[in-house]
Structure 1
Amino acid sequence: MTPSHLTDRPIRPLTVDDLAHCTDLSVDRGWHREDHKWALLLTAGTGYGIDAPDGRGLAAACTVTRYGTAPDLAAIGMVLVAERYARQGLGRHLMTQVCDGILKGIPLTLHATPYGRPLYEQLGFTAVGHAEMLRGTFRPEPGIDTSRVRPAVAADLPQIVRLDHEVHGTDRTHLLARLPAFSRRLLVSEDRSGALTGYAAAWPNTDSDVIGPLIAAETETAKALVTALAAGTDRPLRTDIDVRHEDLLSWLTACGLEPIAGNTVMTRSLPALPGIWSRRFAPLTVAA
């Protein structure tokens, strides 16, 4: 089949019924299967894919998570093309149709790998930041005060939503409502009056527990949330930290996590991500 015929194939919405095909596509490109994350992205957002002409699952796929009522913002993630169809223009075709067709007029964001960044720049995305992925066995540092950190309860959800809206600058209720079931642990921090100063989750991935989101009033609160989350697991930890949080990055490295990769944060039709970056330490996932 020629490349032109590949790009003539229709793009269709994906559902949870496509979960196995999505995870197969991840494995095909050398990623982990990540069923848990894919299931969240296909329910909190929408997947888009192109069926493989040979009948073997998906030739390409991506996910879109919309935020706000208009929506104000949409995040693109999990952009994948099967190895046997790579370098034939299929990824560009999928992204062009999604960005300029399905999401036309909506401000966009994504985390780009070094491999994907040139394509996204050609599609009008610009770099606005960088995130460092770290992974390792966490060794707690003495003296971190976790006394103001506790497990989240159902009554905390309205406060979490309000805090998240303030920090991210958009409404993410549909994602946060799924966070208690998605996470292995969900913690909040509070001040002496009982007002929330941050929240964080740890969720299970194939070979680690991922810390994200990590939202905190300042770095010491972020450290307390990470320390408390780490105490609840014996698995390696992984997280993606905004590189502007140099103190937290240095502390995590001292606690045993090592940088393993980096992603460029990019936006289109938006000069920067909305909200308050200084309180946004790590996303739930770089795909949303």
Structure 2
Amino acid sequence: MPLSQLPLDRLPIRRLGPDDLLACADLSENRGWPREEHKWGLLLAAGVGHGIDDPSGKGLLAVCVVTSYGPELAAIGMVLVAERYARQGVGRRLMRHVLAEAGDTPLSLYATSNGQPLYEELGFTEVARAEMLKGSFTAAEPAPERSVRPATAEDVLQVLRLDHEIFGADRTHLITRLPAFADQLRVAEQDGEITGFAALWPNMETHVIGPVIARDTGTAQALIASLAAATDRPLRTDIDTGHSALVTWLKANGLEQITTNAVMIRSRPELPGDGNRRFAPLTVAAG
């Protein structure tokens, strides 16, 4: 039977690859999101995209990306359904497909208020909230003094060890892509030991700060201030609301809340790693 004659619940779900980048960006635009082609490139390279082709031949009908961090965790992001197929069960079907493929692997995601009821129905539980902040950084309230410098190739092993310890799972396939993906990658150090790192990467008219991994709030502030000084673009970042001191400092420096999202997880009681030192994700789409 031709695809155009199949009901929505029988349309095939396929793996996506780099050749699907523009179709994914088109679907983002269709739902009123930025195209974010640079981010899509990273997600499709480091993760696994799942998509349903529109039987009318108009690109993708639905898409999501799963970024795996081994048996401890995988993150679901960019769950999108074309406007013309919204509220017809397509998103639920795609999510059930992803859950079946994941098996016993715990899954995490950042949920909007619109998407949260579906994720709760599928067994996800809210474990935290994240605040999306955006604005031009003013540096009105200085960061504490820390030693911050551009990362070098010699820092890679230390950065990977620190990230694994704090994130709680192996992100080597993402972190090693940061030097090419980000415009700036900086580390904080004390007595020759790396105590944190953060990246600044381009996304449409903004620069996104993430990930931010740091020993303490002061180190996170120093990393962010150093990155902010390297760009004239508005900044965007997503901070766990548990880091209230950092959120307050960012707002004092010109950033404003855009929205909040629920951090949700399935098949384990909480996220792995150390949330006290994990300040911002690389992107909410990758957990």
Do both proteins adopt the same fold according to a TM-score greater than 0.5, normalized to the shorter chain?
yes
Q: Determine the C-alpha separation between the residues in 2 that align with 1:249 and 1:278.
A: 14
Indicate the percent of aligned positions where both proteins have the same amino acid. Answer: 60
The corresponding residue for 1:228 is: 226
Correspondence 1:112 to 2:111: yes
CA–CA distance in structure 2, aligned partners of residues 3 and 170 of structure 1 = 44
**Structure 1, unpaired ranges of 5+:** none
Which residue is equivalent to 1:268? 266
The answer as to whether partners of 2:106 and 2:268 remain within 8 angstroms in 1 is yes
RMSD, aligned CA = 1.4
Cα deviation 1:243-288 (Å, max 9, x = unaligned): 0000000000000000001110000001000000000000000000
Q: d(CA) in 2 for partners of 1:248 and 1:197?
A: 17
8 Å contact kept, 2:72–2:272: no
Tell me the CA shift for residue 102 of structure 1.
1.2
1:83 aligns with 2:47: no
Amino acid at match of 2:101: I
| Structure 2 residue matching 1:239: 3-state secondary structure | strand
What is the SS of the residue equivalent to 2:276?
helix
Q: Do residues 158 (structure 1) and 157 (structure 2) align?
A: yes
Q: For residue 19 of structure 2, what is the aligned residue in structure 1?
A: 17
1:1-288 to 2 correspondence within 5 Å?
Answer: 5-68=7-70, 71-99=71-99, 101-141=100-140, 143-191=142-190, 193-288=191-286
CA drift of 1:7 comes to 1.4
Aligned length: 284
Contact 1:146 1:228 in 2 (8 A): no
Gaps of 5+ in 2: none
Q: CA offset at residue 207 of structure 1?
A: 1.7
What secondary structure does 2:11 align onto?
A: coil
Between the aligned partners of 2:81 and 2:145, the Cα distance in structure 1 is 43
Measure the CA separation in 1 of the matches of 2:141 and 2:88.
53
Contact 1:152 1:187 in 2 (8 A): yes
Q: How many Å apart are 1:78 and its aligned residue?
A: 0.1
Kept after mapping to 2: 8 A contact 1:146/1:225:
no
Amino acid at match of 1:108: L
How many angstroms apart in 2 are the aligned matches of 1:145 and 1:51? 51
